[in-house]
Amino acid sequence: MVNNPVGWFEIYVQDMPRAKAFYEKVFQVKLEELKAPDIEMWSFPMQMDKSGASGALVHMKGVPSGGNSTLVYFSCEDCAVEAARVTQAGGKIQNPKMSIGEYGFIALVVDTEGNMFGVHSMK
């Protein structure tokens, strides 16, 4: 592969206002609406000159949230900070901050739609 393996991600949700409020509170960002026919999408901020991928919350009729087998990890300064915001935003902690050795730390959390995701940091 010439580039990083992930170029985009989508997190499917059932209640967009609730999910949008959850992610904006946990990551302290404003999501931006993307226009697509028959699909409601709100994207995470992206800086094209930086590494990593962006993605969006998606509500599409007939596509359920939760119970998926794909796990998205969000990068952050200290994953304990974002993990602490999860319960305040209506989600739950699956696994609190834990060491993954030389690769830093992760926490696994569940959003308001039943989707599990990870937060990763080097400290």
Domains of the chain from N-terminus onward: 8-121 (3.10.180.10)
**Can you give the pLDDT at residue 20?**
98
pLDDT digits 0-9 by tens, 98-117: 999 999 999 999 999 999 99
pLDDT digits 0-9 by tens, 32-43: 999 888 899 999
* Strand-strand pairing, 54-59 and 8-12: parallel
Q: How far is it, in rounded angstroms, from Cα 82 to Cα 101? A: 20
State pTM to two decimals. Answer: 0.84
Q: How far is it, in rounded angstroms, from Cα 96 to Cα 28? A: 20
pLDDT at 4 over 80: no
